[in-house]
Each structure stands twice: as structure tokens, then as C-alpha cells.
Amino acid sequence: MTTTLIETHKVFEGEQRKYRHFSETLDCDMVFSLFLPKQTDNKPTSLIWWLSGLTCTDDNFSQKGAFQKYASQHQLAVVMPDTSPRGTDVADDESWDLGQGAGFYLNATHEPWAKNYRMYDYLTEELPQLVYTLIPNFSGKESIMGHSMGGHGALVIGLKNPERYCSISAFAPILNPSQVPWGQKAFTAYLGSDEKDWTAWDTTSLIAQSPTAPPIHISQGNDDNFYDVQLNEEAFLKAAEGKKVSYKKLDGYDHSYFTIASFIEEHLQFHTDYLG
């Protein structure tokens, strides 16, 4: 695969980069961002995947996540994919919570989405093989995290691949998408109306069926406007009993990147503890 470096910035002695490539899986051009810490003494560098939420691109976290200082300290590379396939030939919807910018990190099975909307395969098969080659002294160890729709994506991908990811964390994730409006709308469009087909992409269903799971850390602001309708945790926590799950309510914090920036150090320390 050919990648083109289209942007780079020095930050906390590391580099914040942006790349473009053509994705065979998604059948369109894609961009992603990658933070690389400064390479010193041939130290091994582990990788964290960040998955963003509805309407976001790879730029949101790279510019507002305030993570680079801590990633540099812990010798972590951080990759930020886009949230969906993009382009004039890619199916879209007029609403903000479906289509481009709202890929939900699954493999769509229904038209017009099935041709391009295969974000799960893209993130677990195609893009990693490209990203690994860009990380000097890659340790081979990975963790995954995300926000909102991206928190859903991080949990689903992490639970489907427990041997691959050392840890999972999320800010304000959609924990039970089969039972909330955002998830029901997306799943009906991408997967069809048979709810049995949704369970493979629902965190609560997955963790209930998983004999083992990586350690999970979740932060949820209690002033989050989306919490009551879209982000309730009760069914998930019940299904997750016996698993290593930390769920923290954050007094006075909302759904924004201000919350992420306030607690990103805690999340990266959590991952570092398991990445070694």
C-alpha cells in the first residue's frame, strides 16, 4: 500500500503526522493521523488506537485531545483513523448520525452501505498492516480507546479480539446500541431490521458472551446531555459482572473534548500499566 505524508508538526519532542492512502477495503481514499514519540535509546514503542465519535474526523483528537505530552512520556504511538469512508461516490445521508462521519465501526451488510462501510475490517486488518510499518521500534503491543461512537467501536473491536489488545478504555461510550436511538438507527440502516444481526456489534451482548475480556476503563461525565437517552451503563455493567471493568462518573463534566483533555492522562496511564 502506498501512503502519502500530507502534514507533520513537532509537538512535545514527537511528531504529529497526517497520511493519505487508498483503502482497498473501503474502496475510497482515506486519511489518518499518527503521533510518534521521540525515538531515544531504541526504546520499544507501543501503539494505542483512538476512535472518534459521530461527525468527527481524525483531526478532532489530534488537535483537541491534549494527549501528546503524556504519550511522549510513556513512549506511545497513537493512531487516529477517520470515522467512516469518505468521498463523492460513497453513500451518505442527510442526517448527522448516519452515513459519512458515522460509520459505527462495523461491517455493513445492506445496500447502499455494504460496498464501502466496512470499518471493522479496515481497522482490524488493512490499516494496522500499514501503521505498523510507520512506527520505529514497534513493540507489537496494542491497546484501543475511543469516545462516544468511538467508545462503542473501541469496546466492540477490543472484545472481539481480546488476545490482540492489552486494554480498552472509553469516554462516554454507547454501551448498548441495540437499545438506544443512535444505535437502532445505524444498525437498521447498515445491518437490516433483524435485531439478531445486531448482537455481534453490541458491547453489552458481546461482554455477556465473552469468557474473557481485556481490562476496561470507562469515564462518563454526569453533565453529559446524551447520557440519559444514549449512554446509560446499567445493562452493560450487569452483563460485565466478573470482568475487570472500571466505570467512573465525572462530576460536572460533559460530552465534549474538554472532558477528554481533562482525563486523558489517567486513561493513558491505565493503558501503560497493561502495555508494560
Query: Catalytic positions, please?
Result: 148, 224, 255
Strands 76-81 and 45-51: parallel
Q: What is the CA radius of gyration of the chain?
A: 17
Separation between Cα atoms, residue 212 and residue 240, nearest integer Å: 10
DSSP E strand stretches across 1-68? 3-11, 14-23, 28-36, 45-51
**Cβ-contact 99, 70 below 8 angstroms:** no
> What values do phi and psi take at 236, rounded to 5?
-65, -50
Nearest C-alpha neighbor of 183 from the set 103, 113, 86:
103
> Helix H segments across the chain?
59-64, 68-73, 119-121, 127-132, 149-160, 181-191, 203-209, 227-230, 234-239, 257-275
**Exposed / middle / buried, residue 113 (Cβ in 10 Å: 0-12, 13-18, 19+):** buried
**Cβ-contact 270, 168 below 8 angstroms:** no
Separation between Cα atoms, residue 30 and residue 17, nearest integer Å: 14
**Cβ-contact 37, 72 below 8 angstroms:** yes
Which CA distances in Å does 100 have to 80, 203, 223?
Answer: 16, 22, 28
Separation between Cα atoms, residue 101 and residue 85, nearest integer Å: 8
